[in-house]
Amino acid sequence: MKLSKRVFEWAVFSALRWVALLARYFSWRLGVRIGGRIGVVLYYLLRGMRQQSIENLRISYGRDQSARELSHIVKRNFRNLGKSLIEVLNLKNLKPRQIDSLVSIEGEEYLKEALKRGNAVVLMTGHVGNWELMVCALAARGYPLNVMAAPFYSLRIDEWIIKLRLRFKIKTISRGSSISSKTLLGVLHRKGILGLLIDLDAYANGSDLFNRKAYTPVGAARLALQSGAVAMVFAIVRLPCDRHRITIHKPITFIRTADYEKDVKIHANIITGMIETYVKQYPDQLLQIHRRWKTTIRDANQ
């Protein structure tokens, strides 16, 4: 690893530790407000990420939004990311009843019914809202969650996030590891709950987003078809009062034909389409800084 990269990672991790230390002395509400202001400062400082976010929105909405409107959406997006950062840093200081007071859940009956029937469950979502708070809120209600997550660019940050999830008894499966596929199937075989983020570029042939090839993962649809697990889309959104609402949708009905790969593609597009509705409704709550359309058709075929 280059020295400059190591210095950058050390600086980011150190900054997070200092912010986490200071956040302990603020009330939850005050900390969230301060996080929003931090996000706005980063909007002006991180020019590359700001431009990438604007480009993602331009691809998504075409000419439906002016450049000024796109900039306003991205500014709100950075503000929400700053709020989510403080919330995640403070999660370890909250008790389950405190989390319950911050988060409401709609559609929880679908999850309860699936588990009551002895089914494995695959929960799928995108990087909308505070997804770390979402899984912690469900775990705080007693649901034994396993999540698959891509490792952070920084090992220190990755270990810190994994420890945070473990505090809520959430097990993390590292995407791309040599045992990840076997571990995923083990969770489903034990009739457990598996949480997946499925909206980022996966460098492989995938489903569409905003009617454009996005190379988002199709593994969730493949897993559900192979295992017979109950598959549901769930999502969290930030409300105007800085409380949160989790929505768990009805289980997806899978239709199987003789063409398995076609079935995977069709159902992956259905799942992505459900997540896309949240992206359209809450563009300022989606993780916009990621190069969502990074992989091209040429790249995927190589």
pLDDT over threshold 90, residue 285: yes
Distance CA 226, CA 288 (A): 32
CA angle centred on 94, ends 139 and 123, rounded to 5°: 20
Residue 215 burial by Cβ neighbours in a 10 Å radius (0-12, 13-18, 19+): buried
Distance CA 14, CA 227 (A): 42
Query: DSSP 3-state assignment of 243?
Result: coil
pLDDT over threshold 60, residue 283: yes
Q: DSSP secondary-structure letter at 128?
A: B
CA dist list (Å): 221 to 59, 123, 170, 248, 265: 25, 11, 22, 17, 8
How many C-beta atoms surround the C-beta of residue 69 within 10 A?
12
User: Mean of the pLDDT values across residues 183-205?
Assistant: 79
At residue 13 the predicted structure's pLDDT band, cuts being 50, 70 and 90, is confident
Distance of CA 183 to the CA centre of its chain: 20
- What is the predicted pLDDT for the residue at 301? 45
- Whole-prediction pTM: 0.86
- What is the predicted pLDDT for the residue at 217? 63
Residue type for position 214: A
Distance CA 243, CA 84 (A): 11
Helix pair 219-227, 260-281: axis angle to 10 deg: 130
Only one residue has tokens 């969502």, namely 292
* Model confidence pLDDT, tens digit, residues 146-178: 998 877 777 788 888 899 899 999 999 887 666
Residue 107 burial by Cβ neighbours in a 10 Å radius (0-12, 13-18, 19+): middle
Distance CA 21, CA 94 (A): 15
> How, if at all, do strands 230-238 and 121-125 pair?
parallel
Q: Which residues contact 129 (CB under 8 A, 6 or more apart)?
A: 84, 235, 236, 237, 238, 244, 282, 285
Distance CA 40, CA 81 (A): 9
Q: Is the dihedral of CA 176, 251, 271, 164 positive or negative?
A: negative
DSSP code per residue over 31-92: HHHHHHHHHHHHHHH-HHHHHHHHHHHHHHHTTSS-HHHHHHHHHHHHHHHHHHHHHHHHGG
> How, if at all, do strands 207-209 and 244-248 pair?
unpaired
Of residues 247 and 228, more confidence is placed in 247
Contact 231, 218 (CB under 8 A): no
* Model confidence pLDDT, tens digit, residues 205-222: 555 555 556 555 677 888
Contact 88, 130 (CB under 8 A): yes
At residue 32 the predicted structure's pLDDT band, cuts being 50, 70 and 90, is very high
Which H or E run contains 244? strand 244-248
Domain 3-301 is found in CATH 3.40.1130: yes
